[in-house]
Structure 1
Amino acid sequence: METNTNSTNTISNSKQLAQQTVFSILFTISFTHFLNDMLQAVVPAVYPIIKDKFHLSFTDIGLITLTYQLTASILQPFIGFYTDKKPRPYSLAIGMTFTLLGLIAVSVASSFLNILLAVSLIGIGSSIFHPESSRVAHLASGGKRGLAQSIFQLGGNAGSAVGPLLAAIIVVPYGQFYIIWFSIAAIIGIVILSGIAKWYQEHLNLRALNKSAATEEIHHSLSKQKVIFSLGILLVLIFSKYFYMASMTSYYTFYLIDKFNLTVQQSQVYLFAFLGAVAAGTLFGGPLGDRFGRKYIIWISILGVAPFTLLLPYANLFWTGILSVIIGLIISSAFSAILVYATELVPGKVGLIAGLFFGLAFGMGGLGSAILGKIADATTIEYVFKICAFLPLIGVLTGLLPNIEGKKKTVKN
Structure 2
Amino acid sequence: MQKYYPYLITLSHMINDSCQSVLPALLPLFIYTYGLSLEQAGFLILANTALSSLLQPLLGYISDKLNQPRLIAAGTLLSACSTGMMGFVSSYESLLVCATLAGVGSSIFHPEGAKIMNRLGGGKKGKAMGTFAIGGSSGFAFGPLFAGAIAYTVGAHGLAAFTVAGIIISTVLFLLMPRIVAHAQTIDQAVATENPTVAAQPLKNYWKYFGILFIIILSQSVNFRVINAFIPVFWTHELGTSPEQGSFALTVFFSIGIFMTYIGGLLGDKYGPIKIIRLSLLIWLPSMFLLTQVPEFSVTIMMPLAYLILLMIGAAKAISYSPVIVLGQTYLAKSIGFASGITLGVSQTIGGIIAPVVGNLADTYSLPAAMMTLVPFLIVGLGASLLLKDPKKLQ
TM-score by length of 1: 0.86
The match for 1:4 is: none
Once the two structures are superposed, the pairs formed by residues 326-337 of structure 1 within 5 Å of their partners are 326-337=312-323
- Corresponding residue for 1:12? none
| Offset from partner CA, 1:22-72 (integer Å, 9 cap, x none) | 642222211111111112211221111111111111111111111111222
Cα 1:252–1:221 change in 2 (3 A) is: same
| 2:67 aligned counterpart, secondary structure | coil
What displacement does 1:97 show? 2.3
Unaligned runs of 5+ in 2: 295-301
- The answer to whether the aligner puts 1:295 opposite 2:274 as a matched pair is yes
| Corresponding pairs, count | 384
Looking at structure 1, the residues matched to 353 and 85 of structure 2 have their Cα atoms a distance apart, in angstroms, of 23
**Which residue of structure 2 aligns with residue 129 of structure 1?**
109
Q: Secondary structure at the match of 1:108?
A: coil
In structure 2, distance between residues paired with 1:220 and 1:399:
28
Q: 1:175 to 1:354 in 2, by over 3 A?
A: same
> Shift in Å at residue 380 of structure 1?
0.9
Unaligned stretches of 5+ in structure 1?
Answer: 1-21, 409-413
Check whether the contact 1:219–1:407 (CA below 8 A) recurs between aligned residues: no
State the shift of 1:221 in Å: 11
Give the superposition deviation at 1:390: 4.2
Shift of 1:176: 2.5
Return the match for 2:254 from 275, 283, 295. 275
Q: Would you say 1:317 and 2:303 are equivalent positions?
A: yes
Letter in 2 for 1:233: I
CA pair 167-284 structure 1, distance change in 2 beyond 3 A:
same
Deviations 1:147-176 (A, max 9, x none): 111110111111111001001211122332
Distance in 2, matches of 1:218 and 1:381, equals 52
Q: How do 1:260-409 residues align onto structure 2 when only pairs under 5 Å count?
A: 260-315=239-294, 316-394=302-380, 395-405=382-392
Offset of 1:312 from its aligned partner? 1.9
Distance in 1 (alpha carbons) for counterparts of 2:199 and 2:392: 7
Residues in 1 aligned to 2:161 and 2:214: alpha-carbon distance in whole angstroms? 36
Residues 91 and 103 of structure 1: CA distance in aligned 2, closer, same or farther (over 3 Å)? same
Report the 3-state secondary structure (helix = DSSP H, G, I; strand = E; otherwise coil) of the residue aligned with 1:173.
helix
- Say which of 244, 249, 253 aligns to 2:223: 244
Shift of 1:85: 2.0
Q: Quick one: distance in 1 between partners of 2:77 and 2:36?
A: 29
**1:279 Cα deviation after fit:** 2.6
Q: Quick one: distance in 1 between partners of 2:62 and 2:225?
A: 29
Q: Which residue of 1 aligns with 2:211?
A: 232
> Hey, what's the Cα distance between the residues in 2 that align with 1:318 and 1:389?
22
Report the alpha carbon displacement of residue 400 of structure 1 after superposing the two structures with TM.
0.6
Aligned to 2:56: 76
Following the alignment from structure 2 to structure 1, what is the Cα–Cα distance between the partners of residues 233 and 66? 44
Runs of 4+ in 1 over 6 A off after TM superposition: 204-208, 218-224
- % identity of equivalent residues: 25
1:34 maps to 2:14: yes
Partner of 1:14: none
> Which residue, out of 139, 142, 146, partners 2:119?
139
Write out per-residue CA displacement over residues 294-335 of structure 1, whole angstroms, 9 at most, x where no aligned residue.
110111011332222222222321111111111111222112
Rg larger for: 1
Which residue matches 1:15? none
Quote the Cα distance in structure 2 between the aligned partners of 1:327 and 1:189. 31
**2:34 equivalent in structure 1:** 54
Cα 1:175–1:285 shift into 2, 3 Å: same
Counterpart Cα distance in 2 of 1:211 and 1:330: 34
